Amino acid sequence: MLKTNVNFNDIRRIFIKVRKVLLVAHPNPDLDCLCAMKVIQFLLDRYFAKKAVLYSKDPVNPLYKHLFNDVVNEVNFNDFDCVIAVELGSFKRFSEVVPEIGSKLIINIDHHSSNDLFGNYYYVDVNSSAVNEVLYDIIKQTGIPLDNDIAYYLAMGIISDTGMLSYNNVGSKTLLVLSELRNYVDWQEIFSLIKGRSFYYYKMLSVMYNNLQMKGDIVYSYLRYNELEELIKLGLIKEELNNIVDNIMYVLSGKVFFTITEVEPNYCRVNLRSKGIDVEQIAIKFGGGGHKRASGFRIKKSVDELINILINELGGN
């Protein structure tokens, strides 16, 4: 479903009218969000002669930093008359990132159903797999031609937000969009960029696989602080630990999967995945969140305590 209060003529008119545009990312921006900011920056620069500034409160993941060199972490909000919020979910989240709103024009672009439609203008398409799929529609409908740079970031955003086309958010339209973008991009290069990890990431996987356990249809693993500290000293990037549970979620006999990462002594990150049961409720119970089949939380507990708690919660005992 598309929720919007603008049409494509409005979008053109707005882009012509604004003077200085700030693009803002959600906290800990993912590839979809960062790629979307690049796409909008190209559009404004090439078709509306406006130089947009890209802003993220949090640092860009070092794995992708080289693609987003012009993202700044500090900015004078008073310099801008227009702010475009990319996947910023709610006015509350937005105002945490942009504290000085004043009389700025706010444009809200997203694809999450939880978006509260804040801003002077909003364009939220919850049927889209990625915010880059939303941008593709806007580009097409406003009659702007695709080019190699724009197609490259659009494709990377969509491919990354769909778990490399493996999630259920892939619609037939997603594939149609990609079939067009395919003509502009080096397909293998995009996958290499999304999948690329440090040497020590693979060393970390060997530790995680060595710790792999199974209890009924619960499959889990963990990384203890001492195991992790060593790898981080050697060169493992902390951001590489974000979705490591994905590496165990295709064990055939498993129905629920979790990893525990002890990031500080007795302080753990838990990531949950499931093939059907609702793991969001468990994450919410411990102060986290996510989706029904993919969620996570952080908690002050030891690895062994947490294993017991989670197996209990998941009905393994």
Angstrom distance (rounded) from CA 88 to CA 62: 21
Amino acid at 234: L
Please report how close the Cβ of residue 228 comes to Mn ion at its closest, in angstroms.
28
Residues 284-303, interacting with Mn ion (CB under 5 A): none
CA angle at residue 209 from 160 to 217, to 5 degrees? 85
Closest Cα partner for 220 from 230, 212, 231, 232? 212
194: its two tokens: 């999304």
Angstrom distance (rounded) from CA 279 to CA 297: 11
Q: Which stretch binds Mn ion (CB under 5 A): 55-63, 65-73, 124-132, 207-215?
A: 124-132
Please report, to the nearest 10 degrees, the dihedral formed by the alpha carbons of residues 184, 187, 190, 192 taken in order.
-160
Q: Please tell me whether residue 280 binds Mn ion under the rule CB under 5 A.
A: no
Closer CB to Mn ion, residue 162 or residue 221?
162
Please report how close the Cβ of residue 291 comes to Mn ion at its closest, in angstroms.
12
Q: Which stretch binds Mn ion (CB under 5 A): 15-23, 122-130, 245-253, 308-316?
A: 122-130
The sign of the torsion formed by the CA atoms of 199, 201, 205, 211 equals positive
CB atoms within 10 A of CB 256: 26
- Which single residue brings its beta carbon nearest to Mn ion? 32
Residues 181-210, interacting with Mn ion (CB under 5 A): none
CB atoms within 10 A of CB 47: 16
Closest Cα partner for 157 from 37, 3, 237? 37
Q: Which stretch binds Mn ion (CB under 5 A): 25-33, 44-52, 259-267, 289-297?
A: 25-33
Closer CB to Mn ion, residue 31 or residue 260?
31
Q: Which stretch binds Mn ion (CB under 5 A): 30-38, 169-177, 195-203, 222-230?
A: 30-38
Among 11, 14, 25, 32, binds Mn ion (CB under 5 A): 32
Closer CB to Mn ion, residue 280 or residue 313?
280
Q: Which 8-state DSSP code applies to residue 55? A: E
Closer CB to Mn ion, residue 60 or residue 130?
130
Q: Which stretch binds Mn ion (CB under 5 A): 127-135, 139-147, 162-170, 241-249?
A: 127-135
93: its two tokens: 């989240």
Please report how close the Cβ of residue 131 comes to Mn ion at its closest, in angstroms.
5
Please report how close the Cβ of residue 239 comes to Mn ion at its closest, in angstroms.
17
Closer CB to Mn ion, residue 82 or residue 130?
130
In Å, how far are 145, 245, 271 from 109, measured between CA atoms?
20, 29, 28
Residues 143-182, interacting with Mn ion (CB under 5 A): 161
Closer CB to Mn ion, residue 83 or residue 131?
131
Beta-bridge partner residues of 260: 222, 270
CB atoms within 10 A of CB 229: 16
The residue count for binding Mn ion (CB under 5 A) is: 4
Closer CB to Mn ion, residue 110 or residue 262?
110
The residues of the shown chain that bind Mn ion, judged by CB under 5 A, are 32, 130-131, 161
